[in-house]
């Protein structure tokens, strides 16, 4: 009886879960594909580490997988840029299709990797690289290929949403919540990628590229993470009825695109406001689809493995390059400056408690045509003036904040967070 033999690059949190789930679902997979799917080998750095792997499965010899003609498809779940990029190019040159969970690699080198896939007539699939178990890549690449999505807003990093949830609802410290996210296998090998927004930046670059049919690279995505977020702003926002979430957004306006990652305030009735723990959610908007929201587990070994296996089976179940590989309609679009984005803003000024201060803050905002919707003053050791603005140009809000920062009564750098509104 024939069988499909696959290789794994990596046997860590995700790789070992792929191996285990393939074993547990062997009967169902055989029913779907018509033949057994067998893992022929898994690449690791240190095979002596204790882990649940059958004898002979683990190897440190990449060439053993690359040069095995019986292996038709390889799942890359090892992460990193090099040697991973070289390995994928060599695998495709050897005629093997590749499935990858590596958002940083795809967001940086996607163009080169897809060109190689096309040249070699093999497939490169990457569902697991964005939002783990949520099939958002398939939805954008297949279901909505010509639908015209013009805006994406999402919580696309499980670790930071887990940390924020724990800090707000359980009162955990930032450090304790991050440690727990690492223990649960949510965080990247280097968790600064999660907390600085770099992981989310790579993911929104991938989603923007496939939604708008243009190459958006991760280094173009301005990202602000939760590492600089002050819990006091989360509390002030909560008092005003808002949740603070790390939001990745991308939009196309005419022939311009932009993508960014930033902590944002969400009104309590915003669909992303209720996303808790390591769950992710992505809101897609377009004139015909209006609003489609996908929500589910955004990190974790088993959750991510489901997406890797879905891609493996899709490769096995299609031949040649399949229609998904044809991206000839990619084009160059100009970049929309972030200063031109418009939304309401949350502003927090830490100031001296003196007469006339509020008037000067209002004056600085008025000078930039920023209109105030709500003002709250919190008094404690210092005074916090918290302002919600009406919809305003981001560049004007930041200019007004800079002007206030330069006034003698300002005690610390002003905080300016966009408020995500559903109708944007």
Using the minimum distance from each CB to ligand NAP, give the nearer residue, 210 or 387.
210
For ligand HSE, give the closer residue by CB, 153 or 194: 194
Alpha helices, DSSP H only, in 317-413? 357-367, 394-405
Please tell me whether residue 165 binds ligand HSE under the rule CB under 6 A: no
Burial class (CB in 10 A: 0-12, 13-18, 19+), 271: middle
Give the interface size with ligand NAP as a residue count (CB under 6 A): 29
Can residue 186 be called a binding residue for ligand NAP (CB under 6 A)?
A: yes
Question: Is residue 132 at the binding interface for ligand HSE, with CB under 6 A as the rule?
Answer: yes
Q: Exactly one of 186, 212, 346, 349 binds ligand HSE (CB under 6 A); which one?
A: 186
* Interaction residues for ligand NAP, span 325-354 (CB under 6 A): none
303 binds ligand HSE, rule: CB under 6 A:
no
128 near ligand NAP, judged by CB under 6 A: yes
CB of 72 to ligand NAP, least distance (A): 21
Per CB under 6 A, 81 contacts ligand NAP: no
Q: With binding defined as CB under 6 A, does residue 13 bind ligand HSE?
A: no
Q: How far is CA 118 from CA 77, 89, 221, in A?
A: 22, 12, 26
What is the C-alpha to C-alpha distance for residues 157 and 164, in angstroms, rounded to an integer? 11
Sole window of 164-172, 187-195, 315-323, 348-356 interacting with ligand HSE (rule: CB under 6 A): 187-195
The distance from CA 48 to its chain's CA centroid, rounded to whole angstroms, is 33
If you search the block for the tokens 């088993």, which residue do you land on? 302
Cβ-contact 248, 403 below 8 angstroms: no
CB nearer to ligand HSE: pick between 198 and 416: 198
71 part of the interface to ligand NAP, by CB under 6 A: no
Q: Which does 346 bind (CB under 5 to 8 A by kind): ligand HSE, ligand NAP, none?
A: none
Catalytic annotation on 203? yes
When asked if residue 127 is in the footprint of ligand NAP (CB under 6 A), the reply is: no
CA terminus-to-terminus distance, the chain? 56
Binding test (CB under 6 A) with ligand NAP, winner from 77, 211, 251, 416 = 77
**CA–CA gap between residue 140 and residue 206 (Å, rounded):** 11
3-class secondary-structure state, position 64: helix
Based on the shown chain and the rule CB under 6 A, indicate whether residue 199 belongs to the binding site for ligand HSE: yes
The catalytically annotated residue of 96, 103, 138, 203 is 203
Applying the rule CB under 6 A, the residues between 280 and 319 that interact with ligand NAP are: 299-301, 304
Q: Tell which one of 7, 10, 110, 277 touches ligand NAP (CB under 6 A).
A: 10
User: Are the C-beta atoms of residues 40 and 65 closer than 8 Å to each other?
Assistant: yes
Kindly state the tokens that stand for 140.
Answer: 């954008």
Instruction: Report the residue count for the chain.
Output: 424
Our finding on whether 23 is near ligand NAP (CB under 6 A) is: no
Is 149 within 8 Å of 219 (Cβ atoms)? Answer: no
Which of the residues 352 through 381 are near ligand NAP (CB under 6 A)? none
For ligand HSE, give the closer residue by CB, 117 or 308: 308
Residue 386, phi-psi category: left (phi > 0), alpha (psi -120 to 50), beta (remainder): beta
Q: How far is CA 111 from the centre of its chain?
A: 19
Query: 194 burial class (0-12, 13-18, 19+ CB within 10 angstroms)?
Result: buried
d(CA 228, CA 71): 46
Q: Show contacts with ligand NAP in window 210-229 (CB under 6 A).
A: none
Chain residue whose CB lies nearest ligand HSE: 159
* Between 15 and 344, CB nearer to ligand NAP: 15
Closest CA to 401 of 353, 338, 346: 346
Based on CB atoms, which residue is closest to ligand NAP, 18 or 273?
18
Beta strand segments in 207-255, E: 222-223, 242-253
92 near ligand NAP, judged by CB under 6 A: no
Helices H, strands E: what count in the chain?
Answer: 14, 19
Task: Enumerate the active-site residues.
Answer: 203
Judged by the rule CB under 6 A, the positions of this chain that interact with ligand HSE are 132, 157-159, 186-188, 194, 199, 298-299
Residues near ligand NAP (CB under 6 A): 10-15, 43-46, 49, 77-80, 83, 101-103, 128, 132, 185-186, 188-189, 299-301, 304
């Amino acid at each position: 009886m024939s069988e499909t033999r696959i290789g794994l690059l990596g046997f860590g949190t995700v790789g070992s879960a792929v191996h285990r789930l393939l074993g547990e679902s062997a009967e169902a997979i055989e029913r779907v594909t018509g033949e057994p799917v067998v893992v022929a080998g898994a690449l690791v750095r240190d095979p002596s580490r204790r882990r649940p792997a059958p004898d002979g499965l683990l190897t440190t010899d990449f060439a053993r997988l690359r040069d095995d003609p019986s292996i038709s498809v390889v799942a890359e779940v090892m992460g990193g840029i090099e040697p991973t990029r070289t390995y994928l190019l060599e695998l495709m040159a050897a005629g093997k299709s590749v499935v990858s969970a590596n958002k940083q690699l795809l967001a940086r080198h996607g163009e080169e990797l897809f060109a190689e896939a096309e040249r070699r007539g093999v497939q490169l699939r990457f569902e697991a690289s964005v939002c783990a178990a949520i099939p958002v890549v398939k939805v954008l690449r297949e279901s909505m290929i010509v639908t015209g999505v013009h805006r994406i807003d999402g919580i696309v990093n499980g670790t930071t949403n887990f940390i924020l949830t724990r800090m707000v609802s359980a009162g955990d410290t930032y450090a304790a919540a991050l440690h727990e996210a690492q223990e649960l296998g949510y965080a990247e090998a280097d968790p600064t990628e999660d907390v600085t927004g770099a992981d989310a930046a790579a993911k929104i670059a991938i989603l923007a590229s496939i939604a708008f049919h243009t190459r958006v690279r991760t280094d173009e995505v301005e990202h602000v993470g939760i590492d600089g977020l002050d819990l006091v702003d989360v509390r002030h926002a909560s008092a005003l009825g808002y949740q603070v979430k790390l939001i990745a957004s991308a939009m196309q306006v005419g022939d311009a695109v932009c993508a960014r990652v930033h902590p944002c305030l969400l009104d309590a009735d915003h669909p992303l406001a209720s996303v808790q723990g390591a769950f992710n959610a992505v809101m897609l908007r377009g004139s015909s689809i209006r609003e489609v929201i996908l929500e589910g587990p955004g990190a974790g070994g088993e959750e991510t493995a489901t997406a890797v296996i879905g891609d493996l089976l899709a490769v096995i179940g299609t031949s040649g390059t399949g229609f998904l590989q044809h991206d000839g309609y990619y084009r160059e679009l100009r970049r929309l400056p972030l200063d031109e984005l418009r939304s309401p803003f949350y502003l927090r000024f830490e100031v001296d408690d003196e007469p006339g201060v509020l008037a000067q803050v209002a004056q600085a905002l008025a000078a930039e045509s920023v209109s105030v919707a709500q003002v709250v003053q919190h008094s404690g050791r210092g005074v916090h003036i918290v302002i919600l603005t009406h919809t305003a140009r981001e560049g004007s809000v930041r200019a007004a904040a800079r002007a206030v920062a330069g006034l003698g009564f300002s005690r610390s750098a002003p905080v300016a967070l966009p408020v995500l509104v559903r109708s944007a």
